[in-house]
Amino acid sequence: MNMDNATLAKYMDSTLLKPEATPSDVEALVADAVQHDVYSVCVSPNMLPVEIPAGSDVKVAVVTGFPSGKHDSRVKALEAQIAVTNGAHEIDMVIDVAAAAEHRFEDVEADVREVRGAAPRPTVLKVILETAALDDEAIVGASKAAARAGADFVKTSTGFHPSGGASVHAVRLMSEAVEGKLGVKASGGIRSRAAALEMIEAGATRLGVSAAAAILADDTDASGSGY
């Protein structure tokens, strides 16, 4: 699969979620994102507001319930609401992974629905499943639950779970489960151009990456958290 840099960049959410990230780190992230014209920057909630230079269409995404998902749904909803008030265009929420792992898909749906209610469209809602910790039935069931709850995307991973990040298999399962009605975001461990293109070919419509510039430069040894 071949793709020019301008097209590939627009798949990317350039991400900085390290606990030690500083405001100057976020400024550098934004400068890099604007230079390469990626789709968005994704940051932690307390880094808002993020100033995007005039003339750039780079969006701002923020994580909610991150990274464990083990938060009361009302807390996730409030966090999302505050983030939107502070300028976030997109919310990447983490589900209760245990609910998906135990195939309690009604609970997954209720969790997502709470956040959707607090951050209605046009805010984009992405739902992080932590697919490396789930079996195939859980991935499919959680994807469908997110769709029923009004999500805009399902997303593979936080990039912080010890079980791993995105896989081609998980992306394919998610893509098939949502039947083109939702976007699919692959994140976690995407450190090379080849890996990025492989995820897109499998059905990903967005990529979470922590080394956008290196990937676009075709550096297969790109460093970073791999989010």
Length of the chain: 227
Asked if residue 14 lies in contact with residue 32, where contact means CB atoms within 8 angstroms, the answer is: yes
| Dihedral of the alpha carbons of 82, 110, 136, 194, in degrees to the nearest 10 | -20
Is 59 labeled as catalytic in the residue annotation?
no
Beta-carbon count within 10 A of 189 CB? 22
Q: How far apart are CA 164 and CA 188, in angstroms?
A: 7
- Whether residue 19 is preceded by a cis peptide bond, meaning omega within 30 degrees of 0, is no
Q: Cis check for the bond before 67: say yes or no (omega within 30 of 0).
A: yes
Q: Find out whether 123 and 88 touch, Cβ atoms under 8 Å.
A: yes
Looking at 95-135, which runs of residues are DSSP E strands?
124-128
Is position 155 annotated as part of the catalytic site?
Answer: yes
Q: Reply yes or no on whether 126 is catalytic.
A: no
Give the active site residue among 92, 96, 111, 152: 92
Residue 174 is inside which H or E element, if any? Answer: helix 168-178
Active-site residue, selected from the candidate residues 76, 126, 144, 185: 185
Interior/surface letters 134-171, b for 16+ CB within 10 angstroms, e for the rest: beeebbbbbbbbbbebbbbbbbbbbbbbeebbbbeebb
Catalytic machinery residues: 92, 155, 185
